């Protein structure tokens, strides 16, 4: 028998979106009544998509029975900057948790429901979806990318002294109590944001756990340049291995911390 979320839960579902006009209707369609029962509000944060993503999201949201809005970043903040917008929004509006679900329809939010029903989001500061944990399922993921991810997981595990099975997937949960000091504002705004976030999770001794997820690549447009991102990731693990907290203390934000603003372009 499934248990209901505790009464004090107020969970924000944050969906970062960029060039997801084809995928975002599918992502929102997966927000079944079963999912909506556990979520207080849905916020889609668009980073200036030129392909009609905002209109596609607005149309799809009409089927939702819970509060929902679309925020349009006031400048190009990249994926990390969109996280900063959403985390600030969650803290300002009194949510207890933020669920991150990428808008490209690679992850499946149904994988999260057993974690919420078991109350694990209240046992940990961070629940991290893992593409490579035992029980995970990959569809359409190349052998090269799987091997590369495993290699980096091993390197970061050695550097941190903790077994890490994913450096950053598209399905995660964070307690706003753990985000309250807004340390995330100094992290980089690009695709390295999740890596720096994970290192902070370990270094700040957060209570965290990985859980297996399903992951697929069909018609998504990847923003990752494989080899360039690989070299940057090597630089990060080397920097952390040599300097630890001093390395993480560096401010990598591309703009003043209060400059990550967004405009509501749809609300229901």
- Are 88 and 150 in contact, with CB atoms under 8 Å apart? no
Residue 29 has pLDDT above 50, yes or no: yes
Please give the order of strands across the beta sheet that includes 262-267: 208-212, 126-130, 171-175, 97-101, 11-17, 41-46, 68-73, 262-267
Q: What is the pTM of this model?
A: 0.93
Q: Residue 229: which pLDDT band, with cuts at 50, 70 and 90?
A: confident
Res 2: pLDDT: 37
Q: What would the two tokens of residue 32 be?
A: 């079944």
Q: Residue 20: which pLDDT band, with cuts at 50, 70 and 90?
A: very high
pLDDT in tens, 48-100: 999 999 999 999 999 999 999 999 999 999 999 999 999 999 999 999 999 99
Number of H helices, E strands in the chain: 10, 10
Q: What is the mean pLDDT of the chain?
A: 93
Q: What would the two tokens of residue 198 be?
A: 């994970």
Burial of 167 (0-12, 13-18, 19+ CB in 10 A): buried
Backbone angles phi, psi at 210, to 5 degrees: -90, 150
Residue 10 has pLDDT above 50, yes or no: yes
**Residue whose pair of structure tokens reads 């069909």 in the numeric block:** 218
């Amino acid at each position: 028998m499934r248990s209901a979320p505790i009464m004090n839960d107020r969970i924000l579902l944050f969906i970062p979106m960029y060039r997801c006009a084809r995928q975002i209707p599918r992502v929102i369609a997966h927000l079944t009544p079963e999912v909506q029962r556990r979520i207080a509000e849905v916020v889609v944060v668009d980073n200036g998509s030129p392909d009609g993503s905002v209109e596609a999201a607005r149309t799809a949201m009409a089927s939702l029975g819970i509060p929902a809005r679309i925020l349009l970043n006031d400048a190009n903040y990249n994926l990390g900057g969109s996280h900063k917008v959403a985390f600030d929004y969650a803290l300002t509006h009194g949510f207890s948790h933020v669920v991150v679900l990428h808008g490209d329809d690679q992850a499946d939010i149904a994988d999260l429901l057993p974690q919420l029903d078991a109350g694990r989001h209240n046992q940990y500061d961070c629940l991290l979806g893992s593409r490579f944990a035992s029980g995970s399922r990959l569809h359409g993921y190349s052998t090269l990318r799987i091997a590369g991810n495993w290699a980096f997981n091993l390197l970061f595990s050695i550097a941190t002294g903790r077994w890490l099975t994913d450096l950053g997937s598209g399905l995660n949960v964070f307690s706003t109590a753990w985000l309250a000091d807004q340390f995330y504002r100094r992290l980089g705004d690009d695709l390295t944001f999740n890596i720096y976030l994970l290192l902070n999770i370990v270094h700040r001794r957060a209570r965290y756990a990985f859980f297996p997820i399903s992951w697929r690549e069909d018609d998504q447009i990847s923003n990752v340049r494989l080899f360039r991102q690989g070299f940057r990731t090597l630089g990060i693990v080397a920097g952390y291995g040599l300097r630890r907290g001093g390395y993480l203390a560096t401010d990598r934000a591309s703009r003043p911390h209060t400059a990550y603003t967004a405009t509501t372009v749809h609300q229901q």
